[in-house]
Amino acid sequence: MSTPLPARLPLSLAEELFVGLHTSGEPGTMHIEIRVAGALDATRLEAAARTAASRHPMTRVAFGQPRRLLRPPLWSSTALPTRDLVRTRSCDSDSAMNGIRADFYSQPIDPATAPLVRLLLVSRPGGDSLLLSVHHAVMDGLGMARFLQSVGRAYAELPDPMPNVDPVATRDLATAFGDRYPKSAKERAFRRTGKRKRAQLQPQLSNGAAGFDFLTMSLPQDWPTPSLSHRDLRGTRGEYLLLAALHRAIGRWNAERSRATDLVSTLLPMSVRPPEWGLEVVANLVMAGHVFTDPEQREDDDALLATITEQLRAIKAGDDFGAALHTPSWVRKFVVPALLTLAGRRFVDAAAIMTNVGPADGIYNFGPEAGEVIEAWGSPPTLMPMGLALCAGTLYGDMLITMRYSRTLLDEAAAQEFAALYLTCLEGLSLQKRRGVARQQQPAEATTSPQG
């Protein structure tokens, strides 16, 4: 049974932000892509997608009215659903799949056309791929996974129980989560960056066409030296290593191109759902934090991991988020939107965005004919000057990393080069403990070689 909606619904601050940042050249789309061992039927999939869209309130809205002075922008819940919810393609090679993926996720989704989701079924030998593209204004990454879960259950004719949570009410983050994230009096030195300059990734491109391209990396298969023993990247410790490697790779990439790099800042989106909700609630319930490193930290394994760990823990604890929730309501409703409008894209003062979505084991079930999920990829949206996004997740023990990059930042050759550098930095950190043991067994003069 679907949740009733009013004809007009005010946008939350996050929803308004993502509607405003969306452009045709850099659409604010998120993505999930799964590949099944068998085949999917397009007609059944279309019906399943429409069933899923009817169940979740935020997939029944369209942008109805822009902000008018002090009046917030509005969603309309009376818009007719699009006729091309599911599209179909076919391909016979990984290279062709790369092109299909890039084209699909580079297409904008008109926020005035409900539902703000699109699916693409790609028939492939060895198993079909299903690509989901979502406008970030209506849901975050976990909401997107929950919606795709509903599509699978409708396709397989399985029950799709709905939680006892009002997804519309939860969009008022101050009311829904104010008690969970109290205002913190803590002050953290790494938050006060003063006038130190944050660096962007040095561009390297041949044409600068609009849109995005993607690279997919699977570990252990794509390790630079897969014969060595690596740390398990699943869990919290792996999350620290993945982000630390990104900071080191950005610093070294810029250094190799003679670009001075002081602070590297990466944006980290975090869901505010309580653990007991799991994937539930298709809505945009996300906070974001910045993680900073300086040159000295990035070249010392212990210092790098220590500062990454400290900052990630603070973000997850909601220190900054809690303070934001407890500002006066008139500031949140009027002052903050005005400041964001004036700042535009300048508020995205980071070199990259990274998210860790955790395991995809057993989340999706499209029935016996489709078979088990054998690949799972995804990425958050990104926009220049922060033209790089990484998303990490696991599937039955393998670490799957998706790299989305703006074509106005990197060309294909440069993206391949950066991905190789990232994996080298990640491997260097993942072997840190083993190398430490080796150093203790070697003469002192052998310990002066560069780390990582």
SS3 72: coil
What single-letter DSSP state applies at residue 333? I
pLDDT of residue 14: 83
| Angle formed at CA 356 by CA 355 and CA 357, multiple of 5 degrees | 115
pTM of the model: 0.90
pLDDT of residue 189: 40
Q: Give pLDDT tens digits for 281-340.
A: 999 998 888 999 999 999 999 999 999 999 999 888 887 777 777 777 666 666 666 656
Q: What is the mean pLDDT of the chain?
A: 86
Contacts of 194 (CB under 8 A, 6+ apart): none
Ranges of H-type helices in 318-411: 319-325, 329-330, 336-343
Question: What does the pLDDT average to over 404-409?
Answer: 94
- Report whether pLDDT(390) > 80: yes
pLDDT of residue 347: 55
Half-sphere exposure (Cβ direction) of 94: Cα atoms closer than 13 Å: 5
SS3 445: helix
pLDDT band at residue 451, thresholds of 50, 70 and 90?
Answer: very low
Instruction: Please indicate whether residue 183 or residue 278 has the higher confidence score (pLDDT).
Output: 278
Q: Give pLDDT tens digits for 143-171.
A: 999 999 999 999 999 999 988 889 999 99
CA distances from 149 to 70, 167, 169 (A): 38, 16, 22
Q: Which CATH architecture has domain 8-161+173-440?
A: 2-Layer Sandwich (3.30)
Which sequence spans correspond to the domains of the chain? 8-161+173-440
In the chain, % of residues over pLDDT 90: 61
pLDDT of residue 319: 73
pLDDT of residue 341: 60
pLDDT of residue 190: 43
- Report whether pLDDT(71) > 90: no
How far is residue 76's CA from residue 60's CA, in Å, rounded to a whole number? 8
pLDDT of residue 170: 92
- Report whether pLDDT(399) > 80: yes
